Amino acid sequence: MGVAELAAGALGRASSSPLLAVGAGFIDLTPAWLKEFAVRRFGSNDKTVLLIGLGTGIAVAAPAIGLLGRHRLAWGLIGLAAFGVVGVVAALTRPVAEPLDAVPAAVGALAGMAALTLLTPGTRRRPTPAPVSRDAAHGTATPAGGDATGATGVPAAGAEIGRRRVLLTGAGVIGVAAVSGVSGRALVRRGDVSSARADVRLPRPAVPAPPVPAGAQVRVPGMTPFRTSTSDFYRVDTALVLPQVDPRDWTLRIHGMLARPVELTFDDLLRLALIERDITVSCVSNQVGGDLAGNARWLGAPLAPLLRRAGVRPGADQILSRSSDGMALSTPLETVLDGRDALLAVGMNGEPLPIAHGFPARMVVPGLYGYVSATKWVVDLKITRFATDQAYWTKRGYAERAPVKTFSRIDVPKPFARLRAGPVAVAGTAWAQHRGIDAVEWQVDGGPWRPARLAPAPGIDTWRQWVAEWDAAPGSHTLRVRATDRTGTTQPERRSPPFPDGATGWHSVVVTVT
């Protein structure tokens, strides 16, 4: 594994590391229910959990292969070769694979086979039997106890040498593995674009964001911030290795059903009239009460005029966007052209996009779930038809058209909180991006719905906070919330899972009042 990491580092292709390639392949083969489970259970830590799982699998398989090889060397070698084949297949089936990506897994498997051969007793010259001892000569020798003893059953000098050699070879193998693994990771980090990101100077927006009204932030302790800080912004993607895209090499190809296809460099993009907008992005995998949503201030170029200038051909209904790591997302074209602020974003909360959030450029379309709109590390937009092209998640059965569902959440008090009887602030967040939240109602123990006070918001593309005062009486209570958007649609009571187009249901919180 260490030698394979070194090879991947030398190639400068992190995604060809067998560990990461197998992990990425695993993500792609993960059925929707398991993906939902992983995101629900582990949220943005899902990838760490996957890597720990893979590491555990290897930690179990490697000694098993070693023991097999001890039994019969050929079996151990076959086991390692099988590992290698899995790694090669995984690396070559990545969407952006190159033939050279087969090298790390193959070299790693060969190194493993060499190490196993060196370490397997019996493959070296057998230790020369020690001179027959007197005891043995008198016929009291115990039966031979395997490789570690001489033929006479007495620990032999040759066996000592053999053992020492195994220990030295073992230490050597561990040393090579550690040094190559660590230097491989270091070589991969050479490709890190953090310093290129630090050099980016974003222009001022031609159109600044509408001011966030005073009072958008409800003043209740423990309440979610109206603006999500970049470090707290949720992250959901299939990228086990963060794509490292240097803005100096970045281009965006816009092609397909267009009269005049275009290709933009990063400087071209920065020269466009950029606008700044507060937009809430949310994930289809968000469960009722979940936190896979964030509200940031995005700086970007409006996408619609770019497409109009390129001349969209009649019949097109989809933008198939691709990221540098080969991920494909599909977006309904009409939503991007209907006047909303669909952006090619370069800035987030006043800084260049963080690498984890799509540096140097990503899409942001208010009102659509992330998987049909928010392509990070975007490098290619193909104007096409849903009948012709499918994207990663739509191929897996998720909806092609996935407007964000009207959603509300109780943020305070927290589930199972213990509260003092008397006035208690109940507060939370509601969203229905690009329709806007019109009302939030709350209830106690299934009683009548009461209107909550809605905080103002800068527009219909962000979430809105709400607050209510509850005169809490002692006992155990269930608080519930539901929102209504400006089209008059009320969040339905019926609970449904995120697959295939977003979860539904009322959020409830149980608290104890004393």
Ligand X SMILES: Nc1nc2c(c(=O)[nH]1)N[C@H]1C(S)=C(S)[C@@H](COP(=O)(O)O)O[C@H]1N2
Least distance from ligand X to the Cβ atom of residue 341, Å: 17
| Cβ neighbours for 407, distance < 8 A, ≥ 6 positions apart | 282, 286, 293, 430, 431, 432, 483, 491
Q: How far is the CB of 250 from ligand X (least distance, A)?
A: 14
> Which residue's CB is nearer to ligand X, number 24 or number 80?
24
CB of 193 to ligand X, least distance (A): 15
SS3 505: coil
Closest residue to ligand X using C-beta atoms: 370
Q: Which stretch binds Mo ion (CB under 5 A): 129-137, 364-372, 380-388, 453-461?
A: 364-372
Identify the three-state secondary structure at position 346. Answer: strand
Query: How far is the C-alpha of 432 from the C-alpha of 411, rounded, in Å?
Result: 17
Altogether, the residues listed in the chain come to a count of 514
> Binding to Mo ion by residue 503, rule CB under 5 A?
no
Which residue in 298, 371, 431, 499 binds Mo ion (CB under 5 A)?
Answer: 371
Strand locations in 453-498, DSSP E? 453-454, 464-472, 475-485
Phi, psi (5° rounding) for residue 276?
-115, 135
In whole angstroms, the minimum distance from the beta carbon of 357 to ligand X comes to 4
- How far apart, in whole angstroms, are the C-alpha atoms of residue 490 and residue 503? 14
Using an 8 Å Cβ cutoff, are 371 and 398 in contact? yes
Q: Which is nearer to ligand X, 9 or 347 (CB)?
A: 347
**Sole window of 35-43, 236-244, 459-467, 488-496 interacting with Mo ion (rule: CB under 5 A):** 236-244
Work out how close the CB of 506 gets to ligand X at its nearest, in angstroms, rounded to a whole number: 22
Among residues 376 and 477, whose Cβ is nearest to ligand X?
376
CB of 264 to ligand X, least distance (A): 18
**Residue 374 or 452 with smaller CB distance to ligand X:** 374
By CB under 5 A, residue 402 contacts Mo ion: no
Question: Hey, what's the torsion of the CAs at 60, 66, 67, 72, to 10 degrees?
Answer: 140
Least separation in angstroms between CB 379 and Mo ion: 20
Rounded Cα–Cα distance for residues 275 and 98 (Å): 38
User: For residues 347-366, b (16+ Cβ closer than 10 Å) or e, as one string?
Assistant: bbbeebbbbebbbbbbbbbb
What are the angstrom distances between the C-alpha of 343 and each of 276, 304, 311, 374?
Answer: 9, 8, 18, 9
Q: Which of Mo ion, ligand X, none does 233 bind, CB closer than 5 to 8 A by kind?
A: ligand X
Q: Which of Mo ion, ligand X, none sits in contact with 234, Cβ below 5 to 8 A by type?
A: ligand X
Q: Please say whether the dihedral angle defined by the alpha carbons of residues 197, 201, 207 and 209, taken in this order, is positive or negative.
A: positive
DSSP 8-state code for residue 489: P
Ramachandran sector of residue 227 (left: φ over 0; alpha: ψ -120 to 50; beta: rest)? beta
| Contact yes or no for 239/325 (Cβ under 8 A) | yes
**Based on CB atoms, which residue is closest to ligand X, 281 or 412?**
281
Token output for 112: 């493993």
| 391 part of the interface to Mo ion, by CB under 5 A | no
**Shorter beta-carbon distance to ligand X: residue 340 or 357:** 357
Work out what residue 83 binds among ligand X, Mo ion, none; the CB cut-off runs from 5 to 8 Å by kind. none
Q: Whole-number minimum distance, CB 286 to Mo ion, in Å?
A: 8
Read off the DSSP letter of residue 470.
E
* Structure-block tokens of residue 340: 């909303």
The site partner of 374 among ligand X, Mo ion, none (C-beta below 5 to 8 Å per kind) is ligand X
283 binds Mo ion (CB under 5 A): yes
**Pairing of the two strands 293-302 and 318-323:** unpaired
Nearer to Mo ion, 283 or 381 (CB): 283
Of 466 and 499, the one with the shorter C-beta distance to Mo ion is 499
Interface residue list for ligand X (CB under 6 A): 233-239, 281, 283, 323, 327, 357, 370-371, 374-377
Phi and psi, residue 356, nearest 5°:
-70, -20
Rank residues 283 and 316 by Cβ distance to Mo ion and give the closer one: 283
Pick 87 or 243: Cβ nearer ligand X: 243
Judged by beta carbon distances under 5 to 8 A according to partner kind, the member of ligand X, Mo ion, none in contact with residue 440 is none
Interface with Mo ion, residue 236, by CB under 5 A: yes
Query: CB 159 → ligand X: shortest distance, Å?
Result: 56
Cα-Cα end-to-end distance for the chain: 57
Residue type at 245 in one-letter notation = V
Phi–psi pair at 437, nearest 5 degrees: -90, 130
Number of residues that bind Mo ion (CB under 5 A): 4
Is 370 a binding residue for Mo ion by CB under 5 A? The answer is: yes
**Least CB distance from residue 511 to Mo ion, whole Å?**
30
Q: Which entry of ligand X, Mo ion, none binds 84, CB below 5 to 8 A by partner kind?
A: none
Does position 303 interact with Mo ion (CB under 5 A)? The reply is: no
Backbone angles phi, psi at 303, to 5 degrees: -80, -35
- Least separation, in Å, of the C-beta of 126 and ligand X? 56
Residue 376 binds what, of Mo ion, ligand X, none (CB under 5 to 8 Å, by partner type)?
ligand X
Residue 429, Cβ neighbours under 10 Å: how many?
A: 27
The span from the CA of 173 to the CA of 114, in Å, is 10
Contacts of 90 (CB under 8 A, 6+ apart): 18, 21, 22, 24, 25, 105
Select from 131-139, 275-283, 330-338, 461-469 the region that touches Mo ion (CB under 5 A): 275-283
Q: Which is nearer to ligand X, 241 or 281 (CB)?
A: 281
| Shortest reach from residue 282's CB to Mo ion, in Å | 8
Q: Which is nearer to ligand X, 285 or 491 (CB)?
A: 285
Instruction: Kindly list the residues in this chain that would bind Mo ion in the complex (CB under 5 A).
Output: 236, 283, 370-371
